[in-house]
Amino acid sequence: MLFRVAGTGLDIGSKKIKLARVKKAKKGLELMDFASMPTPNGVIEHGKIIAPIELGKAISQLVKEMGWKGQKVISALSGQEIFFDNFILPRMNRRESRKAALYQSASFLPFPLDEAAFDIFFLREIDNSEGRKREVFFAAAQGLQVEHLKKVCTLAGLRLTVVEVPALALNRLWNSNNEKDLTVFLNIGYSYACFSVFQQQKLLFQRSFASFLEGMIDILGDNILLEEADMTENLQLQELMEEFLARVKQTLSLLQRQEREKIIGQIFLCGGGARLKGLAGYLSMMLNVIVSTLNLPATLALPPSFDQYRQELSCDFPVAIGLASRGVLG
């Protein structure tokens, strides 16, 4: 495979927009640069882009400052806007497989099939007594949201080449590749948290639910430093965290019913909410599972001047970095 020189990732959140650029290095990747800006008010609603023109123009200022105008970019829609499943299909060519997968998706897509923007990925070949089959990963989003994202990137001065699932971007760099244990990412954003479960490269399970971060900021104010906040000192915060914990437990229960014989190796926290003081320890104790905040992978080199931003990069930029890495690794 020919490696590209560099890749750029764009992660648009409800509260913060992140850009990252990586290049191929001797022992993996190197972070070339990164940038962020607050998400303008009124452009994202419930994870959906509702004002692409305003959003694109706002991002264009950041792109101009970074000198990245005209760069190819890989981006993603929010986790709750993407729907996926794994299908076992008869072995067919790609065109026929796409049609068959789309037909099967009618049972769970919340919008008409003719409004779906989708793709499939071949996972493995299966030969058994039932014949020659193939396991296929299917991912879809509403076409209008994809068109909005394209418009945002065009107005921002970027060339959108791929729209990816955020969880796949995380898994690209952070999966342990343990054959037996499941790897779980809990990406805690401003409005929503996304709980994604992988077995090696295979996305088995994903659920989105309300985050605690928006409520916490409503209680403590926009200037809160999550690294210094104490969830035990405020009754409202305690209630907020108990509600969030209940949603995580409910999601774990659904996972365990679906994947009965598989063991969770570890839950990795990322997103703005991962900054909350003591969160990993609290969840680990209450869930009886190892929970830790995501660290930058050993395969990602940082220039010395970026060391001071390591925590911000670990919490806020994993998706953007993972997206950018696809631009290099393919």
Chain segment 270-289, per-residue pLDDT in tens: 999 999 989 999 999 999 99
Distance CA 83, CA 249 (A): 22
User: How confident is the model at residue 177, as a pLDDT?
Assistant: 64
Report whether pLDDT(160) > 60.
Answer: yes
Please answer whether residues 183 and 176 qualify as being in contact, where contact means their C-beta atoms are separated by less than 8 angstroms: yes
Distance CA 318, CA 322 (A): 6
Confidence of residue 222 (pLDDT cuts 50, 70, 90): confident
Mean pLDDT computed over every residue of the chain? 91
Across 115-119, 121-125, 241-245, least confident range: 121-125
User: How confident is the model at residue 210, as a pLDDT?
Assistant: 93
Report whether pLDDT(215) > 50.
Answer: yes
| pLDDT single digits (tens) 164-190 | 999 999 999 887 666 678 899 999 999
Report whether pLDDT(1) > 50.
Answer: no
Distance CA 164, CA 156 (A): 18
User: How confident is the model at residue 252, as a pLDDT?
Assistant: 93
Q: What is the mean pLDDT of residues 78-107?
A: 91
Q: Domains of the chain (ranges plus CATH)? A: 6-80+144-329 (3.30.420.40), 83-143 (3.30.1490.300)
Nearest to 271 by CA among 172, 184, 169, 186: 186
| pTM of the full structure | 0.90
The b-or-e profile of 232-258 (16+ CB within 10 A means b, else e) is eeeeebeebbeebeebbeebbeebeee
User: How confident is the model at residue 250, as a pLDDT?
Assistant: 96
User: How confident is the model at residue 308, as a pLDDT?
Assistant: 95
Torsion-angle region of residue 247: left (phi > 0), alpha (psi -120 to 50) or beta?
Answer: alpha
Distances (CA, A) of 2 to 5, 6, 24, 193, 327: 9, 12, 11, 36, 12
User: How confident is the model at residue 178, as a pLDDT?
Assistant: 67
User: How confident is the model at residue 32, as a pLDDT?
Assistant: 97
Give the distance from CA 307 to its chain's centroid.
23
The CA-based dihedral angle spanning residues 67, 69, 73, 75, taken in that order and rounded to the nearest 10 degrees = 90
Please answer whether residues 172 and 9 qualify as being in contact, where contact means their C-beta atoms are separated by less than 8 angstroms: no
Percentage of residues of the chain with pLDDT beyond 70: 98
Report whether pLDDT(227) > 90.
Answer: no
User: How confident is the model at residue 200, as a pLDDT?
Assistant: 84
Q: What is the mean pLDDT of residues 249-266?
A: 87
Nearest to 201 by CA among 227, 162, 229, 168: 168
Distances (CA, A) of 181 to 145, 174, 258, 265, 282: 34, 14, 15, 5, 22
Distance CA 66, CA 56 (A): 15
Distances (CA, A) of 276 to 220, 238, 293: 13, 13, 10
Q: What is the mean pLDDT of residues 297-311?
A: 93
Per DSSP bridges, beta strands 202-210 and 192-199 are antiparallel
Report whether pLDDT(330) > 90.
Answer: no
